[in-house]
Amino acid sequence: MAKEIADAEVLVVVGAVARSSVRRDDLFRRGTGDIGALLSDAGVRWIPGSGAENGASARFVTLNAQLAFAGIRKSEPLRAVTAGAAHALGVANCIGSLRPGLLADFVLWSGDPLDPETKVVQVYVGGSVVYDAAEDVEKGARE
């Protein structure tokens, strides 16, 4: 149905990609690990969602993005949950990417933000540092 979806020119939000295969007869458990590639190849505009049923599990949105973008460029999951999400919500003229004139809260990482080994170095909100890992280490050493 990807062609029909592309022809309809609608945005698709892909829910949780990692699904249990315990019950194959359950419509909501049907999924494919290459959904992102299938949709992209058909020309469907899509972004990954958290697949969350509640706010607490929404923290897995980047993991879902990685799974949804399997087989697609490595930079796409992060772009999808930042600029792609802002575009989908119609606010890309205000937020979603680091450009002059846009609002930006952002995180500096020690490496690839999608790598589980990567650590947060600094967090900026409204142009000010609100978390600095080096200061946190120093503070802990003093206490």
- Spatial separation of the C-alpha atoms in residues 84 and 73, rounded to whole Å: 14
Of 102 and 113, the structure prediction assigns the larger pLDDT to: 102
Ranges 18-22, 28-32, 91-95, 133-137, most confident: 91-95
Percent of the chain with pLDDT over 90: 20
Do residues 10 and 46 lie in contact, with contact meaning Cβ atoms separated by under 8 Å?
no
Looking at residue 80, its pLDDT comes to 78
Query: How do residues 30-77 score in pLDDT, each as one tens digit?
Result: 555 667 778 888 888 887 776 556 555 555 566 666 666 666 666 677
pLDDT grade for 79, boundaries at 50, 70 and 90: confident
- Spatial separation of the C-alpha atoms in residues 139 and 143, rounded to whole Å: 6
pLDDT grade for 114, boundaries at 50, 70 and 90: confident
The mean of the pLDDT values for the chain is 76
Query: Which region among 11-20, 42-51, 131-140 has the lowest average model confidence (pLDDT)?
Result: 11-20
Of 9 and 52, the structure prediction assigns the larger pLDDT to: 9
Looking at residue 44, its pLDDT comes to 86
- Spatial separation of the C-alpha atoms in residues 6 and 39, rounded to whole Å: 8
Q: Is 108 helix (H, G, I), strand (E, B) or coil?
A: strand
For 51, how many CA atoms within 13 A lie in the half-sphere containing its CB? 19
- Spatial separation of the C-alpha atoms in residues 127 and 57, rounded to whole Å: 28
